[in-house]
Amino acid sequence: MTKKIINKVDRYYSEKIIKHGATSHGVDWNGKESQFLRFEQLGKVFKSKKEFSLLDYGCGYGSFIDYLSENNFKNIQYFGYDISSEMLKQAKASFSKEDITFMSDLQHLINVDYTIASGIFNVKLDTDEKDWKIYIEKTLNTLNDISELGFSFNILTSFSDEEYKKDYLFYADPMFYFNYCKNNFSRNVAVLHDYDLYEFTIIVRK
């Protein structure tokens, strides 16, 4: 089931990046401003702005690197992972430094200090909601296993206005995932639901 889900999501995002290129629309966001607002929330898991390793899980074309640069992060060992070869092709064309590595397989990645995951749980397409929730939990377990100091992720909120909800998207109960992370990963968990987007961010600190 997991492989089937991944293949569907791969096709969806590959088509987006081919159509729109290395832009916010290419990773299915509305624009840079909202994209960087999301990054700001996810980045609250970091204890400092320098000298740590980071896995960007679902990195797209690598736009989080621009966020790090524009916000004066220094000496960051960046690893970008994505299931879409088209996304990785764009990322590698845009960023080529010694401290930046892109990959489609996590098998040989040594644990990192932090992991962030932006938008990877939103687009369920026609996957059954029960199966999608299992997929999310498996992925969160992976994020926890690979992250030494903490991780963060966002999901569309179930508090979104009903008239704007779409059938192919997944809207999550913030408290369910707060409880899941609190009970399974760490005592230090925060839910951020106070920024102007129809989503929430969860921070897990170890």
The four Cα atoms 21, 24, 29, 34 give a dihedral, to 10 degrees, of: 180
Token pair for residue 176?
A: 């369910």
Sheet bearing 199-205, strands edge to edge = 100-103, 74-81, 50-57, 112-117, 147-156, 199-205, 188-192
Q: Give the span between the Cα atoms of 42 and 202, in whole angstroms.
A: 8
**Per-residue model confidence as pLDDT tens digits over 77-98:** 999 999 888 889 989 998 988 8
Domain of 124, in residue numbers: 2-205
- The enclosing domain of 54 has a CATH number of 3.40.50.150
Cα angle 200-188-101, degrees, rounded to a multiple of 5:
70
**Per-residue model confidence as pLDDT tens digits over 8-34:** 665 766 665 566 655 555 445 566 788
Helices assigned H by DSSP within 2-95: 2-20, 32-42, 63-70, 85-94
pTM listed for this prediction? 0.89
Number of domains in the chain: 1
